[in-house]
Structure 1
Amino acid sequence: MLRRKHPQPIESIDMLRTKGLKRFAEVFTADGERIGAVLRFIHRPIEEVNDEMKLYRSYLETQSIQFAGPVYIPTVYIEDYDPAANRVILAVDLNTVRNEAWNREPDFAARGLGVAEELPH
């Protein structure tokens, strides 16, 4: 599979839903590092979405031992989901996850404005 060197934001939440993403699916970076296990989607209020300012519409909340807590991955940076392996593959490497500080809860969620979408087991 051809990987994007510099990911262009594309919404992959429809792909995840179509393929039947399950809670506790394992999440791996493009360079093969395990991030953690999927918990749920969290959605930002539509009027606050601004991709240029990195205010993405939807995030995949992941519980991570490596990051000592939750990691909030914008769904636009998800490359694929393999239902047979129950594995999510990101379009970015581990350094990008660290540099983007996705281990911090998005402001809208911290303010109680997020809408959680639970996933099936």
Structure 2
Amino acid sequence: MNDAVGLVSASFKAHDIEIALDAPEDFYLEGFPNEYAQVLLNLLGNAKEAILQRNIRHGRVAIRLWAEHGEARLSLADNGGGIAAEAWNACSSRISPPRKPAPASACTCPR
């Protein structure tokens, strides 16, 4: 996750968009790091685009990562105005079913 945030941080700073990251230092994810990073980059890009399109001053993107019931959870929120219901319905209907979740030990093992 830090790699993905690092890739966009300079661009976000240039547009006065803050990225707040709330994740445990020892959080470890096992699985598909490239795919996970790509999803995060897409979400960050969408947040940046929404903030810029709406001319939001002092943009903010908050990312939170935690473990719940043996699964990793990610929350990303921004002050860009949200996704219209029509767009969300169209997008979510095309999402593939998730792969089998990793066991709890794979989500929360210290490094």
Normalised to the residue count of structure 1, the TM-score between the two structures is 0.28
**When you count helix as a share of all residues, which structure comes out higher?**
2
| Larger-gyration structure (1/2) | 2
Normalised to the residue count of structure 2, the TM-score between the two structures is 0.29
